[in-house]
Each structure stands twice: as C-alpha cells, then as structure tokens.
Amino acid sequence: MRYLSEIIEGLAFTELQGSADVEITAVVFDSRKVVPGALFVAVRGTHVDGHDYIEQAIKDGAVAIVCEDLPGHTAEAADFLMVQNSAEALGLLASNFYGNPSKKIKLVGVTGTNGKTTTATLLYQLFRDLGYKCGLLSTVENQINGKVIPSTHTTPDPVALNALLDDMVAQSCDYCFMEVSSHAVAQHRIDGLTFAGGIFSNLTHDHLDYHKTFDSYLKAKKGFFDALPKGAFALTNVDDRNGNVMLQNTKASKKTYGLKNMADFKVKVLENQFGGLLLNVDGDEVWFKMVGSFNAYNLLAVYAAAILLGQEKSAVLTSLSKLSGAEGRFDYSIAPNKVIGIVDYAHTPDAVQNVLSTVHDIRKGTEKVITVIGCGGDRDKTKRPVMAKTACDWSDKVILTSDNPRTEDPAQIIKDMEAGVDPGNQRKTISIADRREAIKTAVHLAQPGDIIVLAGKGHEKYQEINGVKNHFDDKEELLNAFSKL
C-alpha cells in the first residue's frame, strides 16, 4: 500500500482534483479488477476505452482515477488526475506502486523479429549456471529462479510486468532477461522501467497487421533503444541492415556483434551439423549443442551481453557450450527409420528461410526436405504468400496447412498462401487444412534419411480455432506419427 503522492512522483499531469494523500491498495487499468482503494487508470485500448468504465470503477471502490478526459461530473468519492496519455502514465504509475523494482535488478531487454526467445532464454540459463538468481520474461514462459509462471504475452502489461519484477527482487534475483516486443514499445508497456542493457537481433517482415508499415515497425523497435539510459549498453547485430539504425539516438554505450562485418564481438562458423555448431568466438574454438547460423548469431549476442555485464570469458563459453536453448526452436527428433523431424517456431518468411537454409547446409544432398507450414489467422496477411514461396524455394515437398486460424476460415488462409506458389512449384505443393493430418501425411511421404520441418507453432501446446484453444503439440503429433512407422 502506498500513498497516491508516491505513485504519481515524476508523472506529468495537467490537473489534479482532490488530495494526493489518499492511500492506494492497487493500480489497475481493467475495471473488472478494481478493488477497494484502487487507482484506476482509464486507458484507451484497441477495442475498449477505459473512460467508459470510470463510473463503474468508482462504484467498485476506486479512490483515484487517472484519465485523459474528465467525465461530465466527477464523484467526490475519488480523486482525479488528468494526463495527456493514460497508457504512457500507466507504466510509471505501476513502477512507482511496486517501488521501481527494475532499479533494484539488472534488467536486460531483447528485441527484434527473430531470436528474442532463444536469446533471452539462453541468457537466463547461462546466468543461473554461473550461480546467479535470475528471472525470465518470454513468449514461452516466465520464470523466477526455476519456478515457472505461465506466459500469456511476449511482454506482459505494465502492472503484471512490475509485479513480476517485484517478485524477482523479493526473491533476491540479480538479473532479469526479457523479450521486448514491438507491441510492448508501441503500447507503452515498458514505460517506467530502467534497463541495464538492450539487445537487437534482426528486423524482418512481421506484425504489419498492427504496425501497418515497415517503417512504423522499425520505429517501435528503435524506440526501445532511444529510451535506454546512459549507464546501459545497446548491443546490435551489425550484419542486419537496420542494426546501426537502432544505435542512432541512444544514450547507452554502443556495441556491435556479427559474423560478416567488422564488430566489437565476432564469430566464425567452422562446422554446422545436426549435432551442433563449432564456432570461433573472438579467437576461441568452442563446440555448441545448437544448430544453424541463425543460432550462431543468438549465441554471439548472449556471449557479448554476458561480457558487457562483467562476466569472465572462459566461464561464459564453458557454460554456453552446455546449453540447448528454448523449447520449440530447431527441436529435432529421429524416427526408427532414420527420418529426421524438426519442430520450429518459425512464423515469418525470414525465420522460415533461416531454418530451411540451415537444413540445406547440413543435408548430404540426397535427402528430401518436406515442410509443413501454415499462417496464423487474424494476423498480417501480406506475409502469407511470401512464406509459402519461401517454403517452396527451399523444400522438395510442401504441405500447406493450418496454424492458428483463430476466427478466419483455414481454407481462405491456405488460399492466400497458395497465391505465392510459383507455377513451377505447384507440383511439389499439396494443401491439407487439418494440421494433424498434414503431419501424418508428411511422415507417410518421408523415406529413410528425409527431413521433415514443422514450421510455425514450435513450443505452443494449442491450436486456436474460432476463439477456442484446443490441445495441439507439433512435437507430440510428430512423435506419435513416428511411433506408427
């Protein structure tokens, strides 16, 4: 419990009606979560405007309201603060309510289109192996010192985020590694947080259903780096054409990593096979369990961040060589007849190409590559034909199927994908809307030594159809089909 005067410290508000001496029991922006003594922040969302629920919030016990527009008549039972942007204010208010936990822990954010989950997870695993207490905030799951907390968003809302950070501080965590999505930046979910460092992986085609243009998507990612404080580090992939853009206005210490261009941290791929990667990392040759040049970038980013956080090189490389990354990322299994199955979360054209080009680099040349791929419903439609084309260009056989159709017709999603299949590739493409049947078909078509790639769902344990999440696990379905060979 804190006084309102403490919670609004640093907040730029245009008007205050009432007293700032009132005690606050909770900060909420969902009127359904109002409790007696709460501060209700009226946020304008995509579908719902919190201003419509101010009266109800007061009835349910809210004693203070933060809003952009004062209602026609203000109740005496509550104090009112008027601000320019409630969403921006929410982050600061939540941070202040929980005692600014991000200032009591070394918080490192990872952003980019691909590689966020793997990089954040590897950092968490690495620092725990080095003996530190840590927290993880990721797409797959949140963790506090090994305790798993289910994840609903890549980056939680400001209240949930600060509550998790507060729990980490209470459990004496030294570090927290978190994914920072473009949505989180644009929606001000990370406002009010103090970061010790930021990492940029890459930027490719994704989320244009939300951001509308690639430039807006780029600016959202860049906004994270623009806000980093002077004492933090900003680490960017210099091989990505947008890598240096991230550093243009940051006050943080600028550092780069890469495989191809001059960088502060360098890696050279010496061997790449299904068993792992042999890398030369800043002069030291190390064998890693992970596969593919895209994972060479992830490993290098983790190594560089660890060094920037003051860790010793040999200890970092020794620990990293033992780690295997995040669930559902190039997760491969071998059937009794030697068919190889790979489950990967790749759901953007670039990520699909990364996985399939890695397979192409490792294969001996005689095996067929069979790719099962779909696209999510109610999401960026422009990438659907591109993903299908990418899959066809890098595969011997492609099965177009459902991902999470959500409220869309799976047949229409597949039709959108089929538009990207060149006439010369149509013979290698079949469409099966039922994902389970698509996986079974891929296994049935595969001959000993062939490689099956299941792209798009990775770690997910559900398939969302018409708003209902039904249990579905790509790896489970793959192993079940393997068992019947």
Rounded Cα distance between 43 and 90, Å, is: 8
Rounded Cα distance between 104 and 169, Å, is: 7
Residue in 421, 416, 418, 392 with CA at minimum distance from that of residue 405 = 416
Query: What pLDDT, on the 0 to 100 scale, is given for residue 205?
Result: 55
Query: What pLDDT, on the 0 to 100 scale, is given for residue 285?
Result: 97
Tell whether the torsion through CA atoms of 363, 366, 367 and 371 is positive or negative: positive
Percent of the chain with pLDDT over 70: 98
pTM: 0.84
Token pair of 168, please? Answer: 């980490």
Side by side, which strands form the sheet with 451-455?
Answer: 331-334, 340-344, 451-455, 369-373, 397-400, 429-431
pLDDT tens readout for residues 8-34:
999 999 999 998 899 999 999 999 999
Rounded Cα distance between 122 and 305, Å, is: 11
Give the Å distances, CA to CA, from 251 to 102, 235, 256.
Answer: 18, 12, 15
Q: Which of 200-214, 284-298, 322-336, 445-459 has the lowest mean pLDDT?
A: 200-214
Q: Give the mean pLDDT of 340-350.
A: 93
Helices 293-308, 313-320: inter-axial angle, 10-degree rounding: 140
Rounded Cα distance between 1 and 39, Å, is: 11
Contacting residues for 166 by C-beta, under 8 A, at least 6 apart: 98, 99, 101
Cα 187 to chain centroid distance, Å, stands at 15
Q: Transcribe 247-267 into DSSP letters.
A: GTT--SEEEEEESSS--SEEE
pLDDT above 70 for 212? no
Token pair of 90, please? Answer: 């929410």
CB 413 within 8 A of CB 377: yes
For the chain, what percentages of helix, strand and coil (3-state, to nearest 5) are there?
Answer: 35, 25, 40
Measured from the Cβ of residue 482, the count of other Cβ atoms closer than 10 Å reads 18
